[in-house]
Structure 1
Amino acid sequence: MHTYQDMEVKLSNTNGWKRSSLGPDTAPHRCHIKTGFILLLTFAFLLTAVAYLSEFSLKIAALPDTLYEKVIRSYYVVIGYPSASENQTIFLAPNRVQQSPTQVPTQTTDISVHHHVAHPSNYHFILDEPDKCSQNPFLVLMVPVAPQKVDARNAIRSTWGNESSVQGKAVLTLFLVGLTRGPEAQQQLEEESRQHRDLVQSNFVDSYFNLTIKTMVIMDWLATRCPQASYAMKVDSDMYTGLENLMSLLLAPNTPRQNYITGYLMWNRPVVRNKNSKWYVAEELYPEPKYPTYLLGMGYVFSNDLPEKIVEASKVIKPFNIEDAYVGACLKQLGIAPSSPPDPSQFRAYLGKYKREDFLRVITTILGSPQQLIDIWKDVKRPT
């Protein structure tokens, strides 16, 4: 049991207070005074902190506008699934979505915001080459690539992307990128564009989870800038592309000229519902347990009447983050079935250990690095 005297001894030991001649009530009275003083200091500190934060916010708001900052502030809000981990939630969509009668309103707290964000009318081109198809190319190769992957672009420019005519048919190669990581990177990209005239840039945030947007922007560019081309190909930046074999396929008399798309076919693929997977798709975005037949996104070729039709179908197909399966869903909506290539072995995921004769036969296969593409291309093209 603690007595008043015990309390007085503790206060004397801890706070340096001593009994005075004023009597036994002196210590408690001083305790009240000190407590009030501490509260006053705390309140003053909080006022100072609030004033500092307000001043800091005003300074941030007053930062000078650059082109890049204007684009970011004008067009983008970060949207994510509330229940998924960070690397599965990053969708960046414009906050100026054009409404249509069937469109879900944009709300940053509802998963329905993802509806229609992939439709290309929500975006515009920052860098463009609208006259590239004035020479009526037979085949246009569209390469989605990250803005910072200059080595990949240069490797393609020095290999299959340097082929302007194959078997007497004009071929064009263009790179499609989204927004860069900052003003300095944007400046470098613009310089690269001036040098090579083969870059197309749109104002979506360039990320793995925005590949559906990237693919739909490619389709929109083909439909609006290059409808006169006969065929087009979406091909990833880490691919070897055998243009001689591809052109032989396209020039074959039995190759359709319309409603045609071929590549590495994917049948009966289940939708991944594991939230720890990079291929996770929420049921709200795609409720079916399996995808329709689609073509692996590494590289597929199609008649150039399809881009406009796919863009139109995307108005009613809710977008999800598996870009190649999404194109398959648009094709299903159109009633168009992907075709198996005459020789399926020409569209290969991996070839394994390098053998020159294998690369002489393929149309597409995945490589490990830009330097590997350069080395293999040199060997394939050497005189025999």
Structure 2
Amino acid sequence: MHTQQDMEVKLLKGYSWKRCSLAQDKGPLRCHIKKGFILLLTLTFLLSAIVYFSDFTLKTTAPPPGTWYKNVVNQIRSFYMSIEFPYGRDNQAIFIASAPTPKTHQQVQQRATQISKQTTDISVHYHIAHPSNYHYILDEPDKCQESPFLVLMVPVAPHQVEARNAIRSTWGNESTVQGKAVMTLFLVGLTGGSDSEKAQQQLEEESRQHRDLLQSNFVDSYFNLTIKTMVIMDWLATRCPQASFSMKVDSDMYLNLENLVTLLLAPNTPRQNYITGMVMWNRPVVRNKNSKWYVSEESYPEPIYPTYLLGMGYVFSNDLPEKIVEASKEIKAFNIEDAYVGACVKHLGITPSSPPDPSQFRAYLGQYKREDFLRVITTILGSPQQLIDIWKDVKRAT
């Protein structure tokens, strides 16, 4: 039974101290063991926290060299750097990387929420994993059984249902063009935020309804667009190698498939090592840290990018995806996905081709004129509804 004195001890000195004083009735060692155990747990927690946050904060907030903190971090990092990775440390993701498949949907969403908070800061040191370090949550592995002539791969944010539906009702609805089979697929990553579980359920329902949705376990964010593009290449290489051509086309694009298929069927269009679109030559690397296109010298040391295709829409012979994936094992990734693909293509000794009529790949057409949209292959639009309206007018009988 507790005495009045014990109650005063509890109030004045705290419950944990009282338990320690009472434990001394059974021997003084028990109190010391408990203190040591608590100290050990505290030290373990602090070391774990140091490991977790050091990559994000050491460069900007670390104490001066020689401090106890940095010595501990260096020892932990030395252990980490001794671990072998399959594709070299420069190609390891600071995100999900090659972690085992999450056991539950809830774990996937919790991880996505945690990581999305980390990827909002442009100062995060950016690495990318080889696409084999990711797996597909939603997949259509048998989609290419009929050997399509052209596969359209659309990277899109998970929440952009309106954009997907607009494409499904316009150019994405065309399955045969000039007698050639055409197929459209959408690729999304993981959602983050408090409503991520609901968003994931909606994606799964959309996938069951349309059978055109692919999802991989990277966090869907602007800074992960290179990962997204490389997962597209991986899917084409592993799930659809029998296609003749493929195209990476953004979700805000107008696409004239008649003109595109005409280009691909032309006798002078190569069937291998071919990639074309809006060609970017001698583009300088942006070093302004306030720019969304900033790339550090550590990520890409050269001042000028290799020749690449603007990511709004470029088409390529379908032998290239596997080669680009292989090249990505050797090329350190950076967060400008179009230029990164250009770096991989350069590594392969392949030069992007200018289209026969470069004016068919347009960034913007300005004020709507039907004859312009009848002539182009791609151009950027302002909204999903604009795509629907223009498509109806272009397709109307004359």
Normalised to the residue count of structure 2, the TM-score between the two structures is 0.72
Question: How far, CA to CA, are the matches of 1:302 and 1:105 in structure 2?
Answer: 25
Determine if contact 1:367/1:373 at 8 Å carries over to the other structure.
yes
Note the residue ranges of structure 1 that are not aligned, 5 or more in a row. Answer: 1-39, 48-53, 55-75, 85-94
Aligned match of 1:161: 172
Indicate if the aligned counterparts of 1:105 and 1:113 stay in contact, CA closer than 8 A.
no
Q: Deviation of residue 99 (structure 1)?
A: 1.1
Q: CA distance change for structure 1 residues 98 and 303 in 2, over 3 Å: closer, same or farther?
A: farther
Mapped to 1, the partners of 2:347 and 2:292 lie a distance apart of 26
Look up the match of 1:100: 86
| Match 1:233 to one of 227, 247, 250 | 247
* Distance (Å, rounded) in 2 between the aligned partners of 1:310 and 1:81: 33
Indicate conservation of the 8 Å contact 2:259/2:376, yes or no: yes
Q: Which of 307, 321, 325 does residue 293 from structure 1 map onto? A: 307
SS at match of 1:126: strand
Summarize the alignment of residues 30-49 of structure 1 with structure 2, pairs less than 5 Å apart.
44=14
Answering whether residue 168 of structure 2 is matched by residue 148 of structure 1, we say: no
Instruction: Give the equivalent residue in structure 2 for 1:193.
Output: 207
Structure 1 pair 370–337 and aligned structure 2 pair: CA distance change class (3 A): same
Which position in structure 1 is the counterpart of 2:135?
124
**8 Å CA contact 2:277, 2:310 repeated in 1:** yes
CA shift, 1:103, in A, is 3.0
Counterpart secondary structure, 1:100:
coil
Output the amino acid matched with 1:271.
V
The superposition leaves residues 188-223 of structure 1 with CA deviations (integer Å, 9 ceiling, x where unpaired) of 000000000000000000000000000000000000
Structure 2 portions without partners, runs of 5+: 1-9, 18-37, 39-51, 61-79, 95-122
What is the match of residue 278 of structure 2?
A: 264
Q: How has the CA–CA distance of structure 1 residues 183 and 83 changed in structure 2, closer, same or farther, with 3 Å as cutoff?
A: same
What is the rounded CA distance, in whole Å, between the counterparts of 1:107 and 1:357 in structure 2? 46
Contact map agreement 2:187 2:214 (CA 8 A) in 1: yes
Distance 1:253 1:98, change over 3 A: farther
The residue identity in structure 2 corresponding to 1:145 is V
In 1, the alpha carbon distance for the partners of 2:335 and 2:179 equals: 38
Shift of 1:119: 1.4
CA distance in 2: counterparts of 1:81 and 1:245, whole angstroms: 51
2:383 — aligned with what? 369
CA distance in 1: counterparts of 2:374 and 2:306, whole angstroms? 32
Rounded to whole Å, the distance in 2 between the matches of 1:232 and 1:107 is 27
Report the AA paired with residue 324 of structure 2.
I
Alignment correspondent of 1:341: 355
Q: Which amino acid aligns with 2:347?
A: Q
Partner of 1:249: 263
Counterpart residue type for residue 259 of structure 1:
N
* Partner Cα distance (1:334, 1:142) in 2: 22
**How far is 1:183 from its partner?**
1.1
| CA distance, structure 2, for counterparts of residue 145 and residue 343 of structure 1 | 28
Preserved contact between residue 156 and residue 162 of structure 1 (Cα < 8 Å): yes
CA distance in 2, matches of 1:354, 1:41: 78
Indicate the structure (1 or 2) with the bigger Cα radius of gyration: 1
Question: For 1:132, what is the secondary structure of its paired residue?
Answer: coil
For 1:106 and 1:345, the matched residues in 2 are separated by 39
- % same residue: 78
The verdict on how the C-alpha distance between 1:190 and 1:98 changes in structure 2, with shifts beyond 3 A counting, is farther
Say if 1:118 and 1:216, in contact at 8 Å, map to a contact too.
no
Q: Does 1:184 align with 2:198?
A: yes
Q: Secondary structure at the match of 1:134?
A: coil
Number of residue pairs aligned between Structure 1 and Structure 2: 308
Equivalent position amino acid for 2:86 in 1: S
Verify the 8 A CA contact 1:104 1:112 in the aligned structure 2: no
Q: Which residue of 1 aligns with 2:342?
A: 328
Query: Do the aligned residues in 1 keep the contact of 2:92 with 2:130 (CA within 8 Å)?
Result: no
Show CA shifts across 1:74-132 (max 9, x none): xx999758779xxxxxxxxxx9x981263349696xx99744x2410110000000000
Aligned residue for 2:147? 136
Structure 1: distance between partners of 2:348 and 2:181: 29
Q: TM-score, normalised by structure 1?
A: 0.74
